Amino acid sequence: MEAGVAHFEGGAMGKEIGSDGFTADDFARFSQRLEQETAHAHKAYRAGAFANAGLVAGFELEAWLIDEHFFPSPRNVSFLQRMASPLVVPELSLFNVEINGTPQALRATALSQLEGELTATWQRCQQVAAEEGVALIAIGTLPTLRERDLSLSSMSPFKRYAALNDQVLRRRGGRPLTLDIAGIETLTATHSDVMLEAATTSFQVHLQTPVNEVARTYNASQLLAAPLVALAANSPFLFGRALWHETRIPLFEQAVDCRQPGHPEHMRVTFGSAYLGKDPMACFAENLSSYPVLLPYVEAGPVSSYAHLRLHNGTIWRWNRLLIGLEKDQVPHLRVEQRVMPAGPSVIDMIANAALYYGAVRCLARQAEAPEARLPFAVARENFYRAARYGLEAQVVWLDGRCQNVAELLLRELLPLAREGLAELDLAAGDITRYLDVISARLRYRQNGAAWQLAHYAKYQDFFRLTADYLEHQRRLVPVHEWPI
């Protein structure tokens, strides 16, 4: 929570910590509290103490501040002071900000309410940015970004970010981080800090779920990760190279890789290791057993606040992440954070992506036979990386075991499924038509943000014109399938 306004946080990394240096005793005390809270959460789940109310939707959108030359502009401190909105908060770098939406019960006009609020916040952000002499742009990776933009001098001035950088490098034994991404072109680079993460901006969609449905919902979210990342792809360029259609995926995975050679440690950014079983608390047990603590900030307060569990979970970035939150009466709830979609291209595109996700995940999670039983986890994971690399041209394996084009899968199976799920939730018929028609047109034209960017660059060979034209179209609030090249 920020300044009294309710919104979903993606993890406790959004909260400032009280120390920038940690001792062995800090790690020991934090680990003890983490064990207690993990055990308590498991016991509370078995006792039925988690909220079992209806579905609640929300989002977080990360965006870039850019100057008149379309380079990143490290001005978020003065921008946020001028903005003075609890819905708009800092991010890792001085040239990024995060915009939050007020959670909505997923019924009636919830989708158009999310769009209306985001549009209003976005337009206010644009006004304030103009007063600061900068612009705001929502795009997965910024085509004009230079390696030298990603330095510690551009890190937002908060202890949590400096501590994260220190701890990642400590676990790596001081070795620099290495990028190695093979796509349309190839990029290899080394970087001495975690600021590479600032190059990956996303539209993270949240779904608070009745506790008795959360495991099935999480698993359905895993199945949908591949078609969603293909549908929404908007990050084809990094440091002047055309790489994956959604380059955020390999970039983020490599940007905070804490592993050392010879140490059997899990990646911090990952698709995960398996579907959830009947007990969703197994996810937090895996966090405890398989992921060393990065930020051992010990807080006072009851075990039932899960402060340490949530902070630790906030340093493990599964592409679908299970989160514990607290209601106003301090009753805990569970929600799924779908993290695969990039920022942009337009407000309506992002809400349309969310609409497809909410409808499709609802239907898949409630099928009589669990669909995850028909698609091995390893295949779902392969689908995801293939879809991130090739976008709407990717070939994926679906529940019938056939390999097919992901855009055709979306058109033929997932759009009707989403329509059915949204209608079952009693969402406004006009909203269902509005948002799913945007998805249908994008698929028919085969034009998502990545396809538009790649075609634009192929025509003009100019990243600055690409970024200028992208910004102009985004400001018009029209969906990407209507953008001219």
Is residue 312 predicted with pLDDT exceeding 60? yes
Give the H or E element holding residue 472: helix 463-475
Q: What integer pLDDT is reported at residue 370 of this predicted model?
A: 97
Percent of the chain's residues with pLDDT above 90: 90
| Band of residue 5 on the pLDDT scale cut at 50, 70, 90 | very low
Q: Is 15 exposed, middle or buried (0-12, 13-18, 19+ CB in 10 A)?
A: middle
What is the rounded (10 degree) CA torsion for 153, 159, 161, 164? 120
Residue 2 has pLDDT above 50, yes or no: no
Tokens read off for 207: 């779904």
Joined tokens for residue 10: 């993606």
Mean pLDDT, to the nearest integer, of 90-95? 96
Mean pLDDT of the chain: 94
**What is the distance between the alpha carbons of residues 200 and 255, in angstroms, rounded to a whole number?**
10
Q: With bands split at pLDDT 50, 70 and 90, how would you rate the model's confidence at 360?
A: very high
Reported in sequence order, the residue ranges of 45-118 that DSSP labels E, i.e. its strands, are: 56-66, 88-90, 96-100, 104-105
Check residue 175 and report its DSSP letter.
P
Q: How far apart are CA 476 and CA 467, in angstroms?
A: 14
Q: How many CA atoms lie within 13 A of 230 on its CB side?
A: 27
For residues 322-339, b (16+ Cβ closer than 10 Å) or e, as one string?
bbbbbeeeeebbbbbbbb
pLDDT in tens, 425-478: 999 999 999 999 999 999 999 999 999 999 999 999 999 999 999 999 999 999
Among 13-17, 200-204, 206-210, which stretch is predicted with the lowest mean pLDDT? 13-17
The set of residues, in sequence order, having a beta carbon less than 8 Å from that of 253 and lying 6+ positions away, is 267, 269, 270
For residue 210, whether the previous peptide bond is cis, meaning omega lies within 30 degrees of 0, is no
pLDDT in tens, 121-172: 999 999 999 999 999 999 999 999 999 999 999 999 988 899 999 999 998 8
- Residues 420-431 have pLDDT tens digits of 999 999 999 999
Instruction: Please give the Cα distance from 44 to 146 (Å, whole number).
Output: 48
The 10 Å CB-count burial string (b at 16+, else e) for 105-143 is ebeeebbbbbbebbeebbeebbebbeebebbbbbbbbbb
Question: What is the mean predicted confidence (pLDDT) over 274-280?
Answer: 94
pLDDT of residue 21: 75
pLDDT band at 4, cuts 50/70/90? very low
The rounded distance, in Å, linking the Cα atoms of 117 and 112 is 8
pLDDT tops 70 at residue 406: yes
Res. 6 pLDDT band, cuts 50 70 90 = low
Which two tokens mark 255? 């940007």
Q: 332 with 324: CB under 8 angstroms?
A: yes
Residue 260 confidence class, pLDDT cut points 50, 70, 90: confident
Bridge partners (DSSP) of residue 238 are 241
Quick check: 199 and 361 in contact, CB under 8 A? no
Residues 52-62 have pLDDT tens digits of: 989 999 999 99
Mean pLDDT of 90-94: 96
Q: What's the whole-model pTM score?
A: 0.95
Look at residue 3 in the predicted model and tell me its pLDDT. Answer: 31
Q: Is the pLDDT of residue 72 over 50?
A: yes
| Coil vs helix vs strand at 476 | coil
Q: What six digits make up the tokens of 278?
A: 């009947």
